[in-house]
Copies of this chain bind each other. A is one copy, B any other.
């Protein structure tokens, strides 16, 4: 994580204070439509209750900023460190992950009070700390805000899963009607190979796993100019894609059979009609929208079926860096920091621009790269060093960003990662090929 600290201290103070409020407010706005019962449930071990996300992100600031750096800070409730520590072994024992749904008390009322308590202390700190203190804590505050943005996305992913386990459809939030838009036929964008620079350049925030910047040798390749669509996925289903072992990785095939997968998560077929659950309720599948909620295994099998392959994360990053410097290629579909009432929390059809479209803002893109450390990667010291490095095992990298990814939280060096069987995040795919 590298923060530019050369700007004027007052400006930094003002900016940080505003950013803090903005990010923290968005979390509360996201939770607002949810009743206490909704916020309590953990529908599978991967999911955390909404209430837990709200408290955990608060605990992060309390533990890593207020307690070490504010003399005399009064911890809100010493038991919360047990309940709301996620996985920081260095910080102590904690609620077992699959049992977060058992935390009946504190309830949402106490969690709201906890947030206010910490926000008050943080505001006082940010406004009144001397410059030296501010410099010392700035990196951790910024990290805490990016951390909270990650949990905003998790909150939305998780509540979608919670609602999906209800026998009757539940709706997170109504959305304005958007008439379907037809997708243009897929086109290919050719890219040269050679030695390319991979990793964050140190300007602005990044997580430690995006560093150090280093050279990677690429072969020439091509990328599809848009994401794979739901309509294309229906062709895969109709061509028995879920029943032909030769298309699948061995672990993928075992997973398909064990879970009886026959379509993406949240899809359902009533007779001949496919529908899918969105955060705005159940809707017919629109063939032109990007497919989402597929696992790495499914994405890989689809690519195999299409006679193509998934890109590596290095190919994607190289293409995205080039793309963003020569054309307007994003759709601006991120989760806005303010007034999310109009946000469409579902991937939409690609616009009609040229070049690589939908790089960000609809669905994360599975790559064929395992999540591994970059050469000379060194995690941070102490508990914060547990943030990324210890997860570099059994996971695959996704690149880009989704419709539920907070605005301003996305960049071409960002490495998202999930186990290859995971489907509850908004994971889609873009085809690649050798040239």
Q: Does A215 contact B (CB under 8 A)?
A: yes
Question: Could you give 24 example pairs across A and B, Cβ below 8 Å?
Answer: A35-B109, A36-B36, A36-B37, A37-B40, A37-B107, A37-B108, A38-B107, A40-B41, A79-B167, A82-B167, A87-B250, A102-B162, A103-B166, A104-B163, A104-B166, A105-B166, A195-B195, A216-B217, A219-B376, A250-B390, A251-B393, A253-B390, A375-B434, A376-B434
- Across the interface, A215 reaches (CB within 8 A) one of B95, B217, B245, namely B217
Q: Does A89 contact B (CB under 8 A)?
A: yes
Q: Does A330 contact B (CB under 8 A)?
A: no
By a CB distance below 8 angstroms, the chain B residues around A99 are 165
By a CB distance below 8 angstroms, the chain B residues around A95 are 167
Closest to A39 in B: B37
Q: Does A177 contact B (CB under 8 A)?
A: no
Decide if A89 touches B35 in the complex (CB within 8 Å).
Answer: no
**Interface core residue of A41, A252, A253, A297 (most chain B CB under 10 Å):** A41
By a CB distance below 8 angstroms, the chain B residues around A391 are 249-250
**Interface core residue of A38, A90, A217 (most chain B CB under 10 Å):** A217
Q: Does A414 contact B (CB under 8 A)?
A: no
Q: Does A14 contact B (CB under 8 A)?
A: no
Give a binary string over A8-49; 1 marks a CB under 8 Å from any B CB, 0 the rest.
000000000000000000000000000111111101000000
Q: Does A392 contact B (CB under 8 A)?
A: yes
Which positions 172-193 of chain A face chain B at CB distance < 8 Å? Answer: none
Give a binary string over A247-262; 1 marks a CB under 8 Å from any B CB, 0 the rest.
0111111000000000
- Give Cα A376–Cα B435 distance, bound, in whole angstroms: 9
- Give Cα A273–Cα B103 distance, bound, in whole angstroms: 26
**Interface core residue of A89, A90, A369, A386 (most chain B CB under 10 Å):** A89
- Give Cα A376–Cα B218 distance, bound, in whole angstroms: 11
Besides A36-B37, A37-B40, 16 more A-B contacts (Cβ < 8 Å) are A35-B104, A36-B107, A37-B51, A38-B105, A41-B101, A41-B102, A79-B167, A89-B246, A95-B167, A103-B167, A104-B163, A105-B166, A195-B195, A217-B217, A370-B370, A370-B372
Q: A167-B79, A167-B83 given as contacts; is B105 within 8 A of A249 (CB)?
A: no
A298 CB → nearest B CB, Å: 13
